[in-house]
């Protein structure tokens, strides 16, 4: 089963994933970090393999992405990435997920980060 298949459905149309659900190295999905560049390289770091696409740039980049590829959206606490996930779902992306708790939860769990 894929990460998307086991993720919890969210009423906004995407699925929620917990930190415990994500294994490294990441396989079978693309991870998009929607924070600002200084956050991506800042104190919380970022998840290895994550691509930086700030929230304000997601809609500009999305038309070039595969709408059937599983996407995991990440931010600091899960709010901005949830907004991005909802917007992508509305654009027709079929396998969008949000990391619940974001990088705060990732760091609290002691998971590996890069800076």
Over its length of 115 residues, how does the chain's per-residue pLDDT go in tens digits? 899 999 999 999 999 999 999 988 888 999 999 999 999 999 999 999 999 999 999 999 999 999 999 999 999 999 999 999 999 999 999 999 999 999 999 999 999 999 9
CATH topology of domain 3-108: Oxidized Rhodanese; domain 1 (3.40.250)
Nearest 10 degrees: Cα torsion 53, 9, 104, 86: 30
All structural domains of the chain with their residue ranges: 3-108
3-state helix, strand, coil in the chain (%, to 5): 35, 20, 45
Helix spans in 50-112 (H): 55-61, 79-90, 102-108
- For residue 10, the model assigns a pLDDT of 97
Q: What is the model's pLDDT at position 16?
A: 98
Whether 95 contacts 67, CB under 8 Å: no
Q: What is the pLDDT of residue 47?
A: 97
Q: 65: exposed, middle or buried (C-beta count within 10 Å: 0-12, 13-18, 19+)?
A: middle
Residue 26's pLDDT is what?
87
pLDDT at position 94: 97
C-alpha 93/C-alpha 69 separation (Å) is 8
Cis peptide before 25 (omega within 30 of 0): yes
């Amino acid at each position: 089963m894929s990460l998307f298949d086991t993720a919890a459905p969210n009423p906004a149309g995407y699925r929620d994933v917990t930190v415990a659900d994500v294994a490294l190295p990441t396989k079978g999905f693309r991870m998009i970090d929607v924070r600002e560049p200084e956050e991506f390289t800042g104190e919380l770091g970022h998840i290895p393999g994550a691509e930086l696409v700030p929230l304000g740039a997601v809609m500009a980049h999305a038309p070039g992405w595969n709408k059937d590829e599983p996407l995991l959206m990440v931010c600091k606490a899960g709010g901005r990435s949830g907004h991005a996930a909802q917007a992508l779902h509305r654009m027709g992306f079929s396998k969008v997920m949000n990391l619940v708790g974001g990088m705060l939860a990732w760091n609290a769990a002691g998971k590996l980060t890069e800076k």
